[in-house]
Structure 1
Amino acid sequence: MGGKQPNERLTAWFGRSGWSKGELARQVNREARRLGAGHVSTDTSRVRRWLDGEQPREPIPRILSELFSERFGCVVTVEDLGLRCTAPAAASSGVDLPWAGDRTVEMINEFTRSDLMLNRGFLGTSLSVAAGPALLEPLQRWLAPVTAEPAAPATAGRAAQGASGSGGTAGRPVAGPRLTPADLDFLTETTTRFREWDAQCGGGLRRKAVVGQLHEVSELLQEPCDEPTRQRLFAVTAELAQLSGWMSFDVGIQPNAQKYFVLALHAAKEAGDTPLGALVLSDMARQMVHMDRARDALELVHLAQYGSRLSATASTQAMLFAMEARAHARTGDAARCRRALRLAEETFEDAEPDTDPSWISFFCLAELRAEAGRAHLDLAHADRAQLTRALVELERAVELYRGDRVHRRAFALALVAEAEALLLADEPDEAARSAYEAAEVAAGIRSERLDTALFTVARTAVARHGALAEVARLADRVGADSSTMRRAV
């Protein structure tokens, strides 16, 4: 018979979710309204037909992908659900964008405006998180040389476009610089202040301020300016977009984070700043590790390493090796992980902080120790002998983080607690105390990643040793903090 075959993939994901058919239908309808697809009206019988093999029309496959991805904390593609996407996945995710300066500016302006208008800074199913070829193939063009557009017959000088970008001001009248060098210095200094805020407070408290500044700079880029000014503005734009992406990632708004990272990569290319582009790719790799797509993370890191091999400082190269180690650890490849960590150590010895760009200043010795600790902690899931090394590295990181690195120190303390909980399974007091200290340090920080790390330790401790005083104290403290940290951004 030629009837429909049950959709076993969707059925498996649906069964694991714990949702009823009615709950899934309600969530689909809610997300469809947020997307503006008012024609979507799903009920339990429609969900049953999907499970039985019916292929829903767009935007439902994309909505389902987003819902299941959020539910499980990893990328669940349309194909993973056994569905077909009638629109190209890369286009719906906002990853496959034209590498043209003017178009990049327009998209940053539009995206930041939409982000600022929404209460929670979440664009819903108008975006999804791309992974696999849909993510990697468009980004390969980051390495392609920039070529000027063909000269228009009636526009003199269009072919003489600067080598820093494919869009820019070619073909338009260029006025004298409206911004002075002092103005550009001020914009750069403001971006540095935003980074310092993130180090102290996490992504939640200042995210909208950074997005607002990015929107304002994109407005400046739409005005005629000379090429040196344009390049500097694109460099500021790239840094602000990268930071907007990082803060969105930190508070758990993954689709927005990926879109900002992609826009930052485009802006960095227009600025001619390959090392900054490598930083953006390393952030995208970190996001993929977080979402259990370690092989995608490796591809992104390798792209960053190859593209910046002739221009990145030792600090940036060491950071990329450390990120490579993290990705190898997630795949369970201990030998390659150790090799990448060794290269990170050796390269970091050649670092000259005085010559580094300001955006890599976060990668200090404490950060290197923390990354090594995380890598060994991931390896410990297959080899418990790695736990001792992980604990040593993470405790060293906690000691090294300066007072202004509150966010990162709190995260390292949470990882210390996780390592102690695994290493000292029968003696939970130490883990509970470390996690409690992390919660104390994290007071006032808005970070979904930190929140999740603390909750992981607390849940494990309560499940195994809920009657102990230290564990009960931790559960109360983390519960109180989490209700605060989960408020709308």
Structure 2
Amino acid sequence: MVTRAVPNLVFRRLRGQRSAGEFAAAVRRAAREIGEQVACDARYIGRVESGEIRCPNYAYERVFLHMFPGATLADLGFPDRESVRGRGARHAPRSSLSPLPPMLDSDIDEECDVLRRVFMTSGTTTVAAASLGLCGGASAAGPLITVPAQRRVGEAEVSAVEEAVRQIRRLDDRHGADGLYRRAAEPLRAAYALLDAGTAARRSTADRLHAGAGELAISVGWLAHDSGRLEDARSHYAEALATARLAGDSALEAHAFCNASFLARDMGRAREAVRAAEAGGRAARPLGSPRLLALLALREAGGRAWLGDRTGCEQAIGRARMAFDQGAGAADPEWMSFFREAELEMLEAQCWSALGDWPRAARHARRATRLQDPHFTRNLALYRAQLAGDLARAGTADEASAAGHQVLDLLGRVRSSRIRGMLASAVRVLRPRGGPEVAALLERYEELPRSTG
């Protein structure tokens, strides 16, 4: 049974004479003021006002309450969050051919359909070749990767898709996602055009193309995630998951669920994060990679931490460490090159941070910064931003300020809205503390140019 959406007339009145686009711009400005990252546009405002979005996620909630001081969600026309728990029940049943899981429900179905139409636009003969580079200078990007556009799919085309995935990951490791996302969308469209319209000589080639296109969708989704385009990221992850299901590719399915869990946690959808991680674990179990199971267990731990489930979180961390200690193996996916001991410590730090155990979080974040491979420039900044926030909340203002300076040192090379948001959060905590170290950080932080995305 499908429940009719109830328009949010209160929210519409609050918009006043502003257009939906103007109001969306005001939402984005308010988000920047409090260090949040929301991908608000006119379409999102329309969905809220029509009642399609019955209750905003936690990031939007914080922004809306910042825009209207003293108001509650009820004052903005939203029902109580608990009453919206069973969102999936209001949507029509899905086809049994390729069902999406509950965590990737109708919030993104329409967007996935739009993406697929874009991928198929112009048919097989007029799809333009797409190249990938880092915006802002060829020297940072290195040689361009070209995804050929032709009807017959062979080794050259599949290899180009696979190499595009590798290059996106290399560039993200060094420079962060901001500036990469829009360029990376071009080879993604070309890859899906090959997938939808091409013919492969061998089944093995077709399987590699499905896997490559799905991995490319996940990589582009991660760029969207890290640059604050969270709804775009959901769409890309859903596309990857649909590709995995159609191809029967368990490895791709596990990867899509892993990233979807991480994204759900960052969007304030903790239960969804747990469900996605558990689904990823089921897909990954036959693959024979303890490291992959460890990462998925940490994704589950992160979701449980945000639910306040300390016992469940500790149990998931324990499983993760046991699996991680089995060591790397031949079955570990290529995309997991980032998952080393430093990342293990970082993800555990985030769990304790979510549970409010700031000193314990800081200890793990400190270990992460000490263990991190300097090749992963983005993660050098990310781990220090986490450390700065945990130390600030633990009351260690001087050391937090020192970590903040290290983040600022790296932001000239790393463009990541997510990292900038983490630093902004640490600065908000430090600002009232005072002292020369904090003052020096604040002065330098205020001189930081605004990200252009």
TM tier, shorter chain? 0.7 to 0.9
Q: Is the Cα contact below 8 Å between 1:246 and 1:257 reproduced in 2?
A: yes
Partner residue of 2:108?
A: 94
Aligned pairs (5 A) from 1:166-315: 178-221=152-195, 222-226=197-201, 227-315=203-291
| Distance in 2 (alpha carbons) for counterparts of 1:442 and 1:67 | 28
Q: Is the Cα contact below 8 Å between 1:231 and 1:270 reproduced in 2?
A: no
How much has 1:78 moved relative to structure 2?
A: 6.9
List per-residue Cα deviations over 1:374-409 (Å, max 9, x = no partner): 111222x2xxxx333222211111111111211112
List per-residue Cα deviations over 1:327-372 (Å, max 9, x = no partner): 1111111111111111111101223244422111121111111111
* Local SS of the residue matching 2:335: helix
Identity %: 24
Aligned pairs (5 A) from 1:4-403: 23=15, 25-28=17-20, 30=22, 60-62=50-52, 70=60, 72=62, 88=91, 93-95=107-109, 106-107=116-117, 109=119, 178-221=152-195, 222-226=197-201, 227-379=203-355, 381=356, 386-403=357-374
| Distance in 1 (alpha carbons) for counterparts of 2:322 and 2:178 | 35
Q: CA RMSD in A?
A: 3.9
Q: Is the Cα contact below 8 Å between 1:251 and 1:449 reproduced in 2?
A: yes
List per-residue Cα deviations over 1:259-310 (Å, max 9, x = no partner): 1110011112234321221121121111221122211211111111123221
Q: Is the Cα contact below 8 Å between 1:275 and 1:316 reproduced in 2?
A: no
| Distance in 1 (alpha carbons) for counterparts of 2:327 and 2:117 | 36
Residues 431 and 97 (structure 1 numbering): CA distance in 2 closer, same or farther, change over 3 Å? Answer: closer
* Local SS of the residue matching 2:338: coil
Q: Is the Cα contact below 8 Å between 1:435 and 1:474 reproduced in 2?
A: yes
How much has 1:460 moved relative to structure 2?
A: 1.5
Partner amino acid for 2:198?
E
List per-residue Cα deviations over 1:179-205 (Å, max 9, x = no partner): 432442333123112111111111112
Q: Is the Cα contact below 8 Å between 1:326 and 1:374 reproduced in 2?
A: yes
Residues 22 and 269 (structure 1 numbering): CA distance in 2 closer, same or farther, change over 3 Å? Answer: closer
* Local SS of the residue matching 1:310: helix
Q: Is the Cα contact below 8 Å between 2:349 and 2:362 reproduced in 1?
A: yes
| Distance in 2 (alpha carbons) for counterparts of 1:262 and 1:325 | 22
How much has 1:25 moved relative to structure 2?
A: 4.7
* Local SS of the residue matching 2:109: coil
Answer yes or no: is 1:438 the counterpart of 2:413.
no
* Local SS of the residue matching 1:444: coil
Partner residue of 2:433?
A: 464
Q: Is the Cα contact below 8 Å between 2:161 and 2:216 reproduced in 1?
A: no
Answer yes or no: is 1:428 the counterpart of 2:400.
no
| Distance in 1 (alpha carbons) for counterparts of 2:341 and 2:331 | 16
How much has 1:64 moved relative to structure 2?
A: 8.6
Q: Which runs of 5+ in 1 are unaligned?
A: 1-6, 15-19, 34-55, 117-175
How much has 1:31 moved relative to structure 2?
A: 6.8
| Distance in 1 (alpha carbons) for counterparts of 2:57 and 2:373 | 39
Partner residue of 1:477?
A: 444
Partner amino acid for 1:446?
R
Partner residue of 1:416?
A: 387
Q: Is the Cα contact below 8 Å between 2:346 and 2:383 reproduced in 1?
A: yes
| Distance in 2 (alpha carbons) for counterparts of 1:104 and 1:303 | 26
How much has 1:96 moved relative to structure 2?
A: 7.5
Q: Is the Cα contact below 8 Å between 1:353 and 1:361 reproduced in 2?
A: no
* Local SS of the residue matching 2:285: coil
Work out which of the two has the higher radius of gyration on C-alpha atoms and give 1 or 2: 1
| Distance in 1 (alpha carbons) for counterparts of 2:308 and 2:54 | 30
Residues 21 and 79 (structure 1 numbering): CA distance in 2 closer, same or farther, change over 3 Å? Answer: closer
Q: Is the Cα contact below 8 Å between 2:173 and 2:376 reproduced in 1?
A: yes
How much has 1:480 moved relative to structure 2?
A: 3.2
| Distance in 2 (alpha carbons) for counterparts of 1:235 and 1:435 | 39
Residues 454 and 477 (structure 1 numbering): CA distance in 2 closer, same or farther, change over 3 Å? Answer: same
How much has 1:88 moved relative to structure 2?
A: 4.8
Q: Which runs of 5+ in 2 are unaligned?
A: 1-5, 26-45, 65-72, 93-103, 122-126, 131-149
Residues 268 and 344 (structure 1 numbering): CA distance in 2 closer, same or farther, change over 3 Å? Answer: same
List per-residue Cα deviations over 1:81-140 (Å, max 9, x = no partner): 99999x959886233899xxxx899346169x9xx9xxxxxxxxxxxxxxxxxxxxxxxx
Moved more, 314-323 or 221-230: 221-230
* Local SS of the residue matching 1:356: coil
Taking structure 1 as the reference length, the TM-score comes to 0.67
| Distance in 1 (alpha carbons) for counterparts of 2:410 and 2:265 | 25
- Runs of 4+ deviating beyond 4 Å: 20-25, 29-33, 56-59, 62-69, 76-85, 87-92
| Distance in 2 (alpha carbons) for counterparts of 1:73 and 1:366 | 32
Taking structure 2 as the reference length, the TM-score comes to 0.72
1:448 paired residue among 400, 417, 423: 417
* Local SS of the residue matching 1:26: coil
| Distance in 1 (alpha carbons) for counterparts of 2:169 and 2:352 | 28
Q: Is the Cα contact below 8 Å between 1:301 and 1:323 reproduced in 2?
A: yes
Matched length: 375
Partner amino acid for 1:207?
Y
| Distance in 2 (alpha carbons) for counterparts of 1:298 and 1:188 | 30
| Distance in 2 (alpha carbons) for counterparts of 1:459 and 1:268 | 42
Residues 200 and 57 (structure 1 numbering): CA distance in 2 closer, same or farther, change over 3 Å? Answer: closer
